[in-house]
Structure 1
Amino acid sequence: MQLTSVRAVVDRVVGDRATEANNPSERAASERAASDGASSGRLTPSSQSSSGQSSAGAAPAAAPRGRNDADGMAVAAFVLGLVGLLVMNIVLGPIAVVLAALALWRGTARRFRAWLGLALGLADLAVLAVLVTVNGNVVWGFGG
């Protein structure tokens, strides 16, 4: 296996595109080496995954990162908004609102959970406003 085809395989598996952006001629050479390997009948990790075969060293196809991040943001917004109703609503409320808005903007699959996180974050801020108005401070507790 040639050095350029090894670099092409590593770039595909790891996803490191920094070297390709810095050196266009190296990118062209690695693409030629990858196409030569596929046309000569040799199985590379990319041709194995397309033919249905897999090897122990081949990495599974990665899901789109933006979608996973948005789903995580929706869940985090919901959890932080819920916890913020009880403690640290001055901090957790705005964080829940921002995370929920980002998750909705990025197109999360968990839209309902993001909307709940947004509503709970806004409820945190409403509880904070009531506490400041009634008690004159942001601390509250049960009994006495």
Structure 2
Amino acid sequence: MALTAPTRTTPAARRRDADGMAVASFVLGLIGLLLFNAVFGPCAIVLGTLAIARQTERRGRALLGLTLGFIDVILLVVLVTLDNTVFWQFG
């Protein structure tokens, strides 16, 4: 068993990871409006916050994902308060 030195990420790799987090935050926040807002909303908030903290180049997308995540959580609270359920449907 050979010991290897720990790998260090370059700033470009960290920024690329942060860009991926920003996109994932947006997608999860958008999906959370329709499905599983109890799961996808908080995930979108966490990923958006991490992307902004890691100085993503896609800051607008991270902020949009963060906003959609908060809307998901607010929608969940409203649904639980009004209908005593976490599901909603059109019609």
Shorter-chain TM-score range: 0.7 to 0.9
Q: Does 1:108 align with 2:56?
A: yes
TM-score, reference length from structure 1: 0.56
Structure 1 counterpart of 2:24: 76
Structure 1 counterpart of 2:75: 127
Q: Equivalent pairs: percent with the same residue? A: 57
Q: Which runs of 5+ in 1 are unaligned?
A: 1-17, 23-61
Runs of 4 or more above 6 Å deviation:
none
Distance 1:142 1:126 in 2: 18
**SS class of match (1:64):** helix
What amino acid is aligned across from residue 71 of structure 1 in structure 2? D
- 1:136, distance to aligned residue in structure 2 (A): 0.6
Distance 1:141 1:67 in 2: 39
Greater RCO (Cα-Cα under 8 Å, separation 6 or more): 2
CA RMSD of aligned residues (A): 1.8
Deviations 1:17-41 (A, max 9, x none): x63x39xxxxxxxxxxxxxxxxxxx
Structure 2 counterpart of 1:31: none
Structure 2 counterpart of 1:89: 37
What amino acid is aligned across from residue 132 of structure 1 in structure 2? V
**SS class of match (2:87):** coil
Distance 1:138 1:81 in 2: 16
TM-score, reference length from structure 2: 0.87
- 1:63, distance to aligned residue in structure 2 (A): 7.6
Distance 1:135 1:141 in 2: 12
- 1:139, distance to aligned residue in structure 2 (A): 1.1
How many aligned positions are there? 86
